[in-house]
Amino acid sequence: MESRYHGGRAPDNCLDFSSPMNPLGPPEALVNAINDVIKDRIYTRYPDYEYKKLRECIADFYDLRAEMLIPLNGAAEALQLILPILRPKALVAIEPTFGDHKLQAEALGLPLISISYKRLSSSFALDIISYSSKIREFEDKILLYMSNPNNPTGCLANKKQIEELLECLPSNSYVILDEAFMDFTGNSESFLWNCPDNVIVLRSLTKILAIPGMRIGFIYTNNVEILDLINKFRQAWNVNAVIAESLSKLDKKALRDYIDHSIEIVNTERNFLVKELRKCDLKVYESQAPFLLIEHSVKHPEIMKKLISLGIYVRDASTFPYLTEHHSRVSVRLRSENARLVEAFKKLLKGS
């Protein structure tokens, strides 16, 4: 039975704007490294279950302590590990947000408390005062989950706001910060380098490196006890040998240059899409991520059917809490593809 809804399942004849990732595609050096390790038939051997080289590679690139991170089969694996370990009395999610947290809370019999972003005229924002009153209803041991930048709204909370949230938490409580798209922002608001003991940071490498099929991310926390429990609870070989070995071959400077260039491209193309889509009488929310949340007069699924007929596939955002059939999330791609998206909306809305 279908219980999930995610992007990335576009028809073969459509440009896929449903899956946000780096529009430049994987760096050439990574593609070459993957081809090399496949040629060496590394897939015939088990990966190192301690992932020593991979952890050192990630730690070196981000200037972190290798012993304080755990590689993941994509950042989405994290909640499946953390929830059974922490066993909170409730999972509190700031929504709309990405993830299977609802399904996992149901499976574990955990109460899920949903609190909403504050919707402004052209953006979304955290509502700290409202959250604090709701969070303080709990005496102890909650797990607060949020994505930053937020998926699907693109809202980027600053460190001060999140620190204010931390001050509201009852005793024995933790925060999961899903920073899957933080690399696209330049990392200025990341908690990777200032991580309190009650914060667990999740990072995805599949988004910035444009390799969603490889499934790679990591957990970082300064809480040694939690880290040890997660490491014991994960399966021994949770990251495949191909990507684990390939990443360890990359040059740090070349990878940094690639990411810096990617940020420039995404910023330029996102600005182009905001400007042009607003000309189509679409409501476009401000974003700091490689995607935009838009609002349209034609509802889903009708608008999706029309877009598919024009060779465009977007993410129906009505499955996110607090959003409606009038919302879609569109990924930032390269100029020629973004222009096709704009033209499709022009034709569609002109005909409506």
DSSP conformational letter for 223: -
DSSP symbol at 311: T
Question: Mean pLDDT in each 10-residue stretch from start to end of the chain (352 residues)?
Answer: 63 94 97 97 95 96 96 89 94 92 91 94 92 84 96 96 92 95 96 95 96 94 96 94 95 96 98 97 97 97 96 96 97 98 93 56
- The class of domain 27-248 in CATH terms is alpha beta
Res 352: pLDDT: 55
Q: How many C-beta atoms lie closer than 10 Å to residue 329's C-beta?
A: 28
The CATH class that applies to domain 13-23+252-349 reads alpha beta
**102: helix, strand or coil:** helix
Contacts of 290 (CB under 8 A, 6+ apart): 20, 21, 22, 23, 181, 184, 207, 266, 270, 331, 332
Selection from 189, 201, 231 nearest residue 67 by Cα: 231
The domain ranges of the chain are 13-23+252-349, 27-248
pLDDT of residue 323: 97
The per-residue pLDDT for 344 is 97
Find out whether 206 and 217 touch, Cβ atoms under 8 Å: yes
pLDDT at position 1, please?
Answer: 40
Q: Do domains 13-23+252-349 and 27-248 have the same CATH topology?
A: no
Q: How far apart are CA 99 and CA 178, in angstroms?
A: 10
DSSP element (H, E) containing 276:
helix 252-279
